Structure 1
Amino acid sequence: MWFLATISIGVTYMSTGFFLFIALWTVFLISMFAIGGYFMFRKFLKRLPKEDGKSILDWQEYYISQTKHLWTPKQKEFLEELVSPVPELFRDVAREKIAGKIGELALSEKAPVMTQDLIVRGYIIATPKRDHKWLVKKLNEKQIDLSPYRSLLG
């Protein structure tokens, strides 16, 4: 008789452990789907056309394509150094966003060449405020005077 009691206790224990595993796995999967869905939804919103018929990403691609000829290899290398603190997974997105903003500035100012000033201003404008601490650190490492850009860092 005690043998049957032991088996039923063991089965109950295994069922509880298995149920706990399934519950934790379900929470994990739902969390991962929610995180992934959040980022996919953000990308979807950026692809939606605005009043002018173009999306944020369309404009970004337009500015990059219109100013591609203004970039020298040295300036491209400088941009790579500026985006180096960004985790590698997000670096391509950050590089395109920053290059798009730099291109927008260059087109609005009708710049004949890409200058370090344009690159730094575009970098500051395109970077979210929460990341300005790392931005300032990176610009200080590159020994760039930040005094002309204080209004953008505000």
Structure 2
Amino acid sequence: MPNEYFMWFMLFWSVFIFVLMSIGGYFMFRKFLKKMPKADGKSILDWQDYYIEQTKSLWDEEGKAFLEELVEPVPSLFRDVARDKIKGKIGELALEDNAELITRDYIIKGYCLATPKRDHKFLVKKLTEKNIDRSAYSQYL
């Protein structure tokens, strides 16, 4: 007859594995939904890649460095995904305005629109640290 401790271990191990599989499935399903084509035939990720590709030449070194500072608190595992999502939104804004260069203004607006509100506190801290007036961005924060 199996030991009582072993039976408890098996129960907790089963629950642990189920929880991990559920979390992984949730994130895989979200990625699947983002890859599904919309009415225009392109998915959210296709549009994001399009905006990044169209505005690749508009980025200068200062803008890239500023974006890297903003995505710094994101865990390294998710940093590339966050950077691409923000870059896609910045590219969308720049293309709408027919911009010739991506400025800090576009970067800040794109960051605000691409990230959840809970992440804006780091942006506010970074803007204060760099002495950038955030009153122009109050509608986005």
Give the structure-2-normalised TM-score.
0.95
Alignment partners' CA distance in 2, 1:139 and 1:28:
41
Aligned amino acid, residue 55 of structure 1: S
1:34 is the counterpart of 2:22: yes
Name the structure 2 match of 1:140: 128
Name the structure 1 match of 2:31: 43
Name the structure 1 match of 2:55: 67
Q: What is the CA-CA distance between 1:49 and the residue it aligns to?
A: 0.6
Within the candidate set 110, 115, 133, 1:122 is matched to 110
Q: What do residues 38-59 of structure 1 show as CA deviations (whole Å, max 9, x unaligned)?
A: 1111111110111111000000
For the pair shown, which has the larger CA radius of gyration, 1 or 2?
A: 1
Identity level (%):
63
Runs of 4+ off more than 4 Å? none
Aligned amino acid, residue 99 of structure 1: K
Q: What is the CA-CA distance between 1:116 and the residue it aligns to?
A: 1.2
Name the structure 2 match of 1:24: 12
Alignment partners' CA distance in 1, 2:118 and 2:58:
30
**Secondary structure of 2:136's aligned partner:** helix
Alignment partners' CA distance in 2, 1:138 and 1:84:
11
Name the structure 2 match of 1:5: none
Q: How many residues align?
A: 141
1:93 is the counterpart of 2:81: yes
Unaligned runs of 5+ in 1: 1-10
Alignment partners' CA distance in 2, 1:44 and 1:67:
26
Unaligned runs of 5+ in 2: none
Name which of structure 1's ranges 93-102 and 130-139 shifts more when overlaid on structure 2: 130-139
- Whose helix proportion is higher, 1 or 2? 1
Q: What is the CA-CA distance between 1:129 and the residue it aligns to?
A: 1.4
Instruction: State the superposition RMSD in angstroms.
Output: 1.2
Alignment partners' CA distance in 1, 2:120 and 2:64:
21
Alignment partners' CA distance in 1, 2:113 and 2:32:
22
Give the structure-1-normalised TM-score.
0.87
Aligned amino acid, residue 80 of structure 1: E
**Secondary structure of 2:55's aligned partner:** helix
**Secondary structure of 1:151's aligned partner:** coil
Alignment partners' CA distance in 1, 2:130 and 2:84:
21
Name the structure 1 match of 2:3: 15
